[in-house]
Every structure is written in C-alpha cells, then in structure tokens.
C-alpha cells in the first residue's frame, strides 16, 4: 500500500505569494531589514524626485531632437544618407532570414528589433523617415516568411553574414566623386562601426592568441605571452595615441586612414583581454576530452574546433560579453584623438554657442544610448547562455 502511494507522481509544491507576503518575507522580515528597507526607499525617493523634477521642469530637451541627426550619424553628408538606409535594409533582410531558419534566440532578437523599429515609426519624424522605418519592419517580416524553415539555406545565410561586413563598408563609403570619406563618419554610426569591427576582429584574434599561449612550441608560447602581457600593461588611450601619432611618423609612406588606425588599435587591445578570458575556458577543459578526441583520430585543429573550443567558449560567455561591452564603451576614447563618435558629437554640441549650458541633457542622452546597447549585449548573452544550458555541466 505504501509503495502504491509512493508510485503516484506528485506535482512539486508551488510557492505562490501575495505581494504583501513577498514584501514581508523579503524586505521586512527582521528589525534591521525593516530599517534598511525604509532607508533605501527614502533614498531612492529622494534621488528620483530630484532627477524627475529636473527632467520635467528644468531640462531643455529640445537640444536632442534638434541635433538628433548629428548624434546618430555625425557629419555624414545628408545627401548620402541613402547609403545608411541601404545597409540597414540589407542587414534587416539577413536578420529576418536568419530568424526564419534558426528560430530560437535569433527569432526573439529579430522580433525585439522589429518592435524597436516599429516604435521609431510611431515617433513623429518626417513622414518619409517614418515610412522607411515601417519598411524595415516589413522587410524583416517578409524575409522571415520567405526563409521560414528553409534549413538548407543556412550555409548561404552564414556566407551572407560574412559578406555583410565588407559590403557594409563599401556601401557606406562608396567610390569616386560621391565617396563618403571616413573622416565624415561620426556619431552613433561611428561608435557602432568601431565596436562591431573591434568585436568581430578581436574575438578570433583573441582565440588564436589563447591557443598560441597553450602551444607546445616555446617560441610561439613566448611571443603570445609577451604580446598579451605587454598590451595588458598599457592603457588603451596610449595605444590609440600611438596609432594616431606614431604610425604616421614611422611609416609616412603607408597612408592609413585615421578610423582604420583606431580600429586596429582597439582590436589589438581587446584581443589581449579576450585571449586571457578564452585561456581561462581552455584550462577548465579536462585532459580526458582531448585524449578522447585524439583517440578517435581527430587531429589538433579538429579537436580544438569540435571539442575543446565549443566547451571552453561556452563556459566563458559572460567574461567574453563583458569584454565586448567594455570595448563598446572604450570606443568613446577615440573622441580624445579627435574623432567625432557619439561622445565626440556630444562634446561638440555642448561647445556650440546655441546650446551652451546643456551638458546634462546631451550627456545624459548619450549615456542612455550607451546603456541601451550595453544592456542589450548583456541581455543577449544571458539568453545565449540559457539556450546552451542543456548538457552543460
């Protein structure tokens, strides 16, 4: 009888709490928690009251819409903006198709992004602009439907993503008379380009350096270690200055674009940190994994590619994304070198006589933009981690 009773499967007990109960259990359960809670609530009210009063009564927000284009794209020629739209449309189509093929997080990401564009379309910009925003949403949806469940296309989509990068650069810059020189790239556009290039280039370079640091050959190990430790011992800004000042002095014949030099500096800097993060993951992989792979006849590159790296990278996703986020924010240092990125634009607006004294509004807006992007990366990383959770111990 007892066994019969046991065999019945019970649902786990659910802990359902009313809001009052939750408050009591979490904030007011002991006398010192009551004091702490009351103090914190008072502090939060005090701060937010100050900020909200300022934001709704004193702040002159008109500076933002008046300079929105400047903030977003800097001095990018206004008659060439179609280039940026083209890039956005191309990437949206790619994203829509990827969502159709892979579902999961990609689809969720596409939906969120489409919602953001939809909100943009509601904001009262010029009618043409709103139409273009709406067009993005539509093109994401259509490409999603077209590619839906066409699993066999996935190879083409991957190639598409790989090509999207040089394509973006070419479309944004263009050739001949109408070419938009990188010195005209600015604002959020420049920040994003620097960050994306930095992330896409420093990641593989970092993995490569981490593998080299574990190499059996002392020379390779030594070179990699020296590189990593040197870079980590130097602030990014000095590397950017070197890129900006020293390269033209030492290599005057090589006429490298200023923006490209910053990209290289950021990439080399970030790769060293990336390498250390990846190395942490590599060291956590038990030796039995490589041995089992070798025993199957997988050579070194295949063992790394199929066995070691997937496990190592998965375990250091939080650290890697943290590195991506700090890279994204560190791009703001190029404004010291004289590039007009998001922060540079903010600086130049507040220096404009027309908008004098509006630092708080402009910098707060810039901060919100940085935050939105950084937080999105952080959010995506948690999602990716969760979706890879199965089978990972």
Partner 1 sequence: MDNKENTTNDPIIVCEDIHKWYDDFHVLKGITTSFQTGERAVICGPSGSGKSTFIRTINRLEEHQQGKIIVEGIELTNDLRNINLIRQEVGMVFQQFNLFPHLTNLQNITLGPIRVRKIAKKQAETEALALLDRMDIEDQANKYPTEISGGQQQRVAIARALAMEPKIMLFDEPTSALDPEMISEVLDVMRELAQSGMTMLVVTHEMGFAREVADRILFFDEGLIVEDAPPAEFFDNPKHERTKLFISQTLQH
Residues at the contact surface with partner 1, assessed by CB under 8 A: 286, 288-289, 291-299, 302, 306-307, 310-311, 314, 390-393
Min CB(102)–partner 1 separation in Å: 18
Min CB(298)–partner 1 separation in Å: 6
Min CB(388)–partner 1 separation in Å: 8
Choose between 9 and 392: whose C-beta lies nearer to partner 1.
392
> Distance (Å, rounded) from C-alpha 187 to C-alpha 75?
8
Min CB(160)–partner 1 separation in Å: 23
Helix 104-122 to helix 81-102 angle (10° resolution) is 140
Min CB(280)–partner 1 separation in Å: 17
> Tokens at residue 186, please?
């600015």
Choose between 127 and 390: whose C-beta lies nearer to partner 1.
390
Choose between 37 and 290: whose C-beta lies nearer to partner 1.
290
Question: What separation in angstroms does the CA of 293 have from each of 282, 286, 289, 304?
Answer: 15, 12, 6, 9
| Lookup result for tokens 């540079």 | 344
> Distance (Å, rounded) from C-alpha 310 to C-alpha 313?
5
Choose between 218 and 357: whose C-beta lies nearer to partner 1.
218
Radius of gyration of the chain (CA): 26
Min CB(290)–partner 1 separation in Å: 9
Choose between 72 and 278: whose C-beta lies nearer to partner 1.
278
Choose between 300 and 375: whose C-beta lies nearer to partner 1.
300
> Tokens at residue 370, please?
């940085």
> Tokens at residue 130, please?
């709103």
* Residue whose C-alpha is closest to residue 136's, from 156, 115, 150, 153: 115
Choose between 14 and 287: whose C-beta lies nearer to partner 1.
287
3-state secondary structure of 341: strand
* Residue whose C-alpha is closest to residue 206's, from 124, 287, 266: 266
Say if residues 201 and 267 touch (Cβ distance below 8 Å): yes
Min CB(209)–partner 1 separation in Å: 23
Say if residues 349 and 355 touch (Cβ distance below 8 Å): yes
């Amino acid at each position: 009888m007892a066994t019969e009773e046991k065999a019945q499967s019970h649902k786990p007990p659910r802990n359902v709490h009313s809001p009052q109960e939750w408050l009591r259990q979490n904030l007011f359960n002991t006398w010192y928690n009551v004091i702490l809670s009351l103090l914190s609530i008072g502090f939060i009210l005090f701060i937010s009251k100050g900020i909200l009063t300022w934001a709704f009564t004193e702040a002159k927000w008109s500076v933002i819409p008046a300079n929105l284009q400047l903030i977003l794209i800097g001095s990018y020629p206004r008659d060439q903006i179609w280039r940026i739209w083209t890039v956005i449309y191309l990437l949206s189509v790619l994203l829509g198709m990827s969502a159709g093929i892979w579902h999961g997080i990609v689809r969720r990401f596409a939906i969120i992004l489409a919602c953001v564009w939809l909100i943009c379309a509601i904001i009262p910009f010029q009618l043409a602009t709103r139409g273009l925003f709406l067009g993005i949403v539509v093109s994401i949806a259509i490409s999603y439907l077209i590619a839906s469940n066409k699993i066999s296309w996935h190879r083409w989509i991957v190639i598409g993503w790989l090509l999207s990068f040089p394509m973006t650069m070419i479309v944004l810059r263009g050739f001949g008379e109408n070419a938009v020189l990188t010195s005209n790239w600015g604002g959020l556009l420049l920040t994003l380009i620097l960050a994306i290039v930095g992330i896409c280039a420093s990641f593989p370079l970092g993995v490569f350096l981490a593998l080299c640091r574990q190499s059996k050959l002392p020379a390779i190990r030594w070179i990699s270690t020296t590189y990593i430790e040197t870079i980590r011992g130097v602030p990014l800004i000095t590397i950017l200055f070197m890129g900006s000042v020293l390269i033209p002095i030492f290599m005057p014949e090589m006429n490298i674009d200023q923006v490209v030099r910053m990209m290289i500096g950021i990439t080399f800097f970030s790769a060293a940190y990336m390498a250390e993060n990846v190395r942490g993951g590599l060291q956590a992989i038990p030796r039995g994994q490589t041995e089992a792979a070798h025993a199957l006849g997988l050579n070194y590159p295949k063992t790394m590619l199929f066995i070691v790296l997937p496990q190592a990278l998965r375990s250091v996703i939080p650290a890697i994304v943290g590195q991506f986020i700090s890279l994204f924010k560190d791009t703001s240092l190029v404004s010291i070198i004289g590039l007009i990125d998001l922060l540079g634009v903010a600086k130049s607006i507040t220096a404009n006589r027309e908008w004098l004294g509006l630092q708080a509004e402009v910098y707060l807006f810039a901060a919100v933009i940085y935050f939105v992007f950084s937080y999105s990366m952080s959010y995506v990383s948690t999602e990716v981690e969760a979706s890879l959770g199965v089978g990972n111990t």
